[in-house]
Structure formats: C-alpha cells, structure tokens
Structure 1
Amino acid sequence: MTCVICKKKVSRSADCVTCDLCRGAVHTECADLSRAEIECIRSKSRKIHFYCANCDIVATINNLKEELAGVKSELNELKNSQGKVIHQDSVKKLSDDDILMEIEDRNHRAANLVLFNLPESSEMNSSERKNDDMFRCRKIVIPENKNNVVNSQNCIRLGKFDNDKVRPVKIIFENPHQAIDALRTYKRSDNLYLNRDLTPRQQNYNFVIRTEFKNRLEKGEDNIFLKYVNGIPKIVPKKNLKNMQIPNSQ
C-alpha cells in the first residue's frame, strides 16, 4: 500500500488516513491534518469527510452541484407556491452567476448561528458589551457537559442600537461542524431562539412558506404541518407528523 500523495510505502495503517472518495491511503504527514482532526476522521461516529489533494477538487465540484440543485429546488418551490405574498425578487429568473453567489454566501455563513431575543447588555463600554454578549451566548448555546471542544470565536449584534428593540446576535464558530453541533444540542429556553445564519433569499423563502402555511390553515386545511430541515421550513401532510422537527427558529 502506497501513499497517493508522496507515492511512498505506507508501513502501518496507524500512519495513514483513508480518502473518502478514491479510498486511497494518505500519510498523516502528507494529509496536513492536526492530531485532533486525524482522531476525528478515524472515529466510527465521525460526521466529516476527508479528501486527498487529488480528489479534493472533484469533491468540491460534486458538492457545488448538490448545492446548485438545492437552490434551484427552493426557487421552484417558491414559484409553485400557492401563497399570494411572494416577493418579486424571489420568483424572477436568476442567472447562473446569481445562484453561484447565493451558494457562496451560504458557505460564508455556514459557521455562524443567530440568537434572537437576547437582552441588550447593560454595560456602558462597547467592548464590555461585546464581552458580556460573548459570555452569555456561550453559556446559552454551548452545553457545559460537552466532551469535545466547541468554541465560538466572536459574536456581533446585528443592526443599529435602538432602545425599543433587541438586536439579534450573530455567533461565529471555528467551522460549520461546530455550528451544526451547537444548533443540534441547543435546548430552547425562555423566549430565546437559535437559528442558522440565513441569506436574504433564505429568509424570504422562510417568510413566504410560513405565510402560505398560515393562509392555508385559515382556509380550513388542518391536515398540514411545517417541517423544518436545517432551519428551512416545508409544508408537509399530517401523515408525516412523526418525522416533523421542532424548529429552533422563530
């Protein structure tokens, strides 16, 4: 067995990791991974993939195709929606560049979460307010008993300060996996809501679907529910109730 990168012999399985695409062996030194990343990749319950340098571009293209199909599917649902509140920006024909920009924006936001209704800090100094927000966000979002390290790098209040409003807080994690893990383990409390950092198009999509759902309920349809997948709502028949997820978003 030889390393697909350096082409040298791999003497022991403990000295390599396996590419998830070509199934080739890669020396741990050639993989350019940290010890923690190597342990995670070797874990039976891992939720991430490893691609060697040769396959990385192939995997990127495949992922891009999947994301492209997902965006187009959402747009088609919007066009076929029965609601009467669809924004023109949602249904106009998008160019390939528009769709690629949307995908890039989603990837840029993938390591972020947004916490709603966290009271504004009473600290006077802006730096102290930010530190206070960070402390409270970590206490709310990251469970104290987690074995693996989930570290929020930063938090930002969204929008201008207003005495009559509470601004959402964007929480920025080290990587998308930590954001997903934090969202999955978050236990909703009081009036706080945690959701993914959605793009404007995703926010508009959510608004349209929730409004359509409300309108259909008001018209007497009582056999439908909202099912949330990764923070995105979808109207489903009542028979799928057992698969319904309780949303973290408002």
Structure 2
Amino acid sequence: MPNCLNCSAPFGNCKTLVACDGCTGSIHMSCAGLNEDDLKRISQNKARSLKIFCKQCNSVDLCSLLLKLVSRVESVENKLDHHQEKNYDEMIEDASIEAVERMKKAKNVIIYGIPETTGSIANRKEHDLQEASNILAKLSTGMEDFRIICFRLGKASPEKKRPLRVIFPNEETALLVLKHKKNLDSINFKDIKISDDKTPRQLKYLHSLRATLQNRLENGEVGLTIKFIKKKPTIVNITKN
C-alpha cells in the first residue's frame, strides 16, 4: 500500500490526496497544508502557476532555484507596463514549468553509445539495464549498487544506437556519475558518452551558444571553449591565467 511522501503514513481509504508537481507522488491533503476549498480550486485550475511539492522535492536546491526564479520574474515585472500583462503571465507560467522540468531531469543522465539488442521488449529492457549497470559500476564512484530505471529515447533504427536515459533515485547520485564520467576512457568505454539530461530550452540555448562559439573562432578569436559554470554553459577563454 502506498504511503504519503510527507508523513510516510499509509493512505488507506483516504481519497483527499494531492500529487507532487515534482516527482508526481501522492501526499495527504493536510500534509500539503491544504483544505477542501484549496483542493477544489487546484483541481479546477489546470493552468495554475502555484506548484505543490513533497518534502524531498522541496529541497534546498529547489528553494534556491525558485528564489532565483522569483528574482528574475520581479526584474522582468519592473520593465513591463500595463499593456504587457498577458505576456507577463505567460512568462511566469513558462518559467514555473521550466523550473519543475529541470528539477525532474536533475535525477537523470543520458548514456550514448550502448549497442541495442533484438528480441522481446522484456529482453531488450533487461539488456539495457545490465549494460548501464555495468558501465556505472566501473566508474569508481564509490557506489557498488545503483538502483536505476532506464529506457531508450527516440524511434528504433538499425543505422544508429539510440541514447539511453537513466533515472536515479535522487539528484546526488546523478551528479556523482557526471563527476566521474571522465573515467570512461580509462576503463575501455571510449565509445560511451554520458551527459546530463537537458530540457528542450536548455538544448536550444546550448546549440545557440555553440553556433556563437564557432562564429567567434572563424572570425579569428583563439583559446575559446564552452565550460559549465554553476550548471550554465558559458563561453570562456582557456588561455587566460
């Protein structure tokens, strides 16, 4: 029987439950600080900007992210006049959705280069799970057992190996794997690549940044590369001391 993510008590026959906007798990209405009227309003408002999170998702990292988000929204608000109220509301909603999506993807990594197998769906899933577990076990992260869920991205094709999304129980494990991914070259996995799981907005920004970098290099600038500074891709000069 499933338990409440906040108080860990079983739900039993309780029907007044709310879903966490982060991990989609269930919480007692009272544990979320809501009453019947609040729950009714939330259920009727599908395009709401107010989000509900369980204790685990409502972590320090998320609070920090949301505080930065609020600061950015307030900065934008000061620049808008009363004719732009509709666009402002849309920006708030988009920013809220992006923040939640990034939080969910923070527990994932993408592994590229793992060969695919044939056979039944169950056999293919078991193959991918074993291959991913084998790679992770040899990264020298200090962890011996990884509890993971994994699945292929995109449509199957005999011409290419689809990326494998690997989902961990928490963000800390994903960060540990990303920190040690440089060990792949020394353990006979040179054809395997590991990256973080980016949202479409993050991918668009990274592609734009790469185009900017290429343009600057073609115009004669030297010593430039892209580095991730506080998780944000940034063009930096690697020749500076």
1:99 Cα deviation (Å)?
0.6
1:185 CA drift (Å): 1.3
Higher mean displacement: 133-142 or 223-232: 223-232
Structure 2 residue ranges without an equivalent (≥5) = 1-54, 76-86
SS at match of 1:114: strand
In the alignment, which of 94, 111, 119 is matched to residue 107 of structure 2? Answer: 111
Alignment of 1:103-182 (within 5 A): 103-121=99-117, 123-143=118-138, 145-182=140-177
Alignment of 1:1-250 (within 5 A): 61-66=63-68, 95-121=91-117, 123-143=118-138, 145-186=140-181, 187-189=183-185, 190-229=190-229, 232-240=232-240
How many Å separate the matches in 2 of 1:118 and 1:210? 26
Relative to structure 1, is the Cα distance of residues 179 and 130 closer, same or farther in structure 2, using a 3 angstrom cutoff?
A: same
Tell me by how many angstroms 1:71 deviates: 10
Shift of 1:101: 0.4
State the Cα distance separating 1:124 from its structure 2 match: 0.9
Tell me the TM-score normalised to structure 2 length.
0.60
d(CA) in 2 for partners of 1:72 and 1:140? Answer: 44
Distance in 2 between residues matched to 1:145 and 1:104, nearest whole Å: 31
1:129 partner amino acid: R
Q: 1:144 to 1:188 in 2, by over 3 A?
A: closer
What CA distance in whole angstroms lies between the structure 1 residues aligned with 2:160 and 2:218? 30
- d(CA) in 1 for partners of 2:74, 2:206: 15
Structure 1 counterpart of 2:179, one-letter code: R
Q: Could you tell me whether the CA contact under 8 Å between 2:62 and 2:103 is conserved in 1? A: no
Give 1:104 deviation, angstroms. 0.4
CA distance in 2, matches of 1:235, 1:199: 20
Q: 1:177 is aligned with what amino acid?
A: E
- Cα distance in 2 for partners of 1:132, 1:103 equals 33
User: What is the identity percentage for the equivalent residue pairs of Structure 1 and Structure 2?
Assistant: 27
CA contact (8 A) 2:228 2:234 kept: yes
SS in 1 for 2:151: strand
Q: Is the 8 A contact 1:195 1:231 kept in 2?
A: no
Name the amino acid aligned to 2:149.
Answer: N
- Rounded to whole Å, the distance in 1 between the matches of 2:112 and 2:61 is 35
**Distance in structure 2 (CA, Å) of the matches to 1:164 and 1:210:** 26
Per-residue CA shift, 1:123-174, capped at 9, x if unaligned? 3111111111111111113336554455242111001111122210000111
Unmatched runs of 5 consecutive residues or more in structure 1: 1-52, 74-91, 243-250
1:226 partner amino acid: I
Q: Deviations over 1:202-230 (max 9, x none)?
A: 01111111111111111111132221346
Q: Return the TM-score normalized by structure 1.
A: 0.58
The AA in structure 1 aligned to 2:113 is N
**Superposed CA offset, 1:31-55 (max 9, x none):** xxxxxxxxxxxxxxxxxxxxxx8xx
Cα distance change on mapping 1:65 and 1:162 into 2, 3 Å: same
Matched AA of 2:66: L
Match of 2:191, SS state, is coil
8 Å CA contact 2:111–2:193 kept in 1: the answer is: yes
Distance in 1 (CA, whole Å) between partners of 2:138 and 2:204 is: 31
Q: CA RMSD for the aligned pairs?
A: 3.2
